[in-house]
Amino acid sequence: MIYLDNAATTKPDLECLKAAEKYLTTEYFNPSALYKGGYGLQCELREAREKILSLIADADKFGLVFTSCGTEADNQALFCGGKRGNIVTTLGEHSAVFAAANELKQRGLEVRFANINADGSVDISHLLSLVDDKTSLVSVIHVNNETGAINDIFKIANAVKAKNKFTLFHSDGVQAFGKLRFKLTADVDLYSVSAHKIGGLKGCGALIKRKNLVIKPHLYGGGQEAGLRSGTENVFSIKNFQFAAVKRYANLTENYQKVCHIHSLLWSKLDKSLFTRISPADCSPYVLSVSAAGLRGETILHEADDSGLIIGTGSACSSNEKKRFSRTILACGYGEEIADGVLRLSFSSENTAEEAVAAAEILNKLVANRKAIMA
């Protein structure tokens, strides 16, 4: 099996699973308990928080709230940050942001959507034109989950603050964390990350927030996570997240270079008469989006699966919406013929050059055969 759907989820890192195993089997206490075992786990959570945060932010300026996933982190950012006036986001957001924004619209808040470019990046000029003195929140995805386009969120956040210093800036960083090297700046107020995109487990994420930023919780109850996210903490998954994140960042440059080679090799081997490239040349190397124009991407996905190749057709989260065409790809300006044939190939450092060559051969054969049948 060749697995090239790493943007949807990654294989859990077995070394990190083993290191975290004791928090599932022997140190299973409630971290809010007052006895020694519970207090010990509070210390473990503090360590995890500090370790993960230090990878992309200054601990003196930022804090971290553990959540159940990146989607919950996005929802907390929007529902707790977008409280008045209007909010501004983009047409290329992950569904966790896009759907949350539309729910805020249903609740009476004005929501403004900025256009995106053909590669999936935000049209910065249009976005800034939507920001005014009543904008409470701006949310821009860091790496587009369908095309891999990288938004310069630090430049954008700075420009947003120049227009309205009171506007909060949030970014969904799920496809950037553990893959790109960066540090959060003071202009970024809220930033979402997820564990299962970097070898951690599903069901664990975090919302990073500017330290002096006051927001209300999204979930109420026992007051865990400094009162910002009630619910007994999943210590096992959180510690696994810590180990996976630290390991990823220790090998960040090496992994990046390896994935760049795999990405370039696979694209070079694809038949350009069969595939249209959607991802920009300067995209995150972890995502390569192409289209077998005139065919259904879903059909190619299933045929590839039968051939031992696992790929995606876009955001896995959006597959539940049962919509034939990707909202993001249409917003890029492509017609339905291109949108229908979209395939998303996404990589991890565990992939090999041999897999890239084999994947291209499988896709070339399947698409050529399908086109011949339809001719």
Catalytic residues: 317
**160 in Cβ contact with 154 (< 8 Å):** no
Q: How many CA atoms lie within 13 A of 330 on its CB side?
A: 7
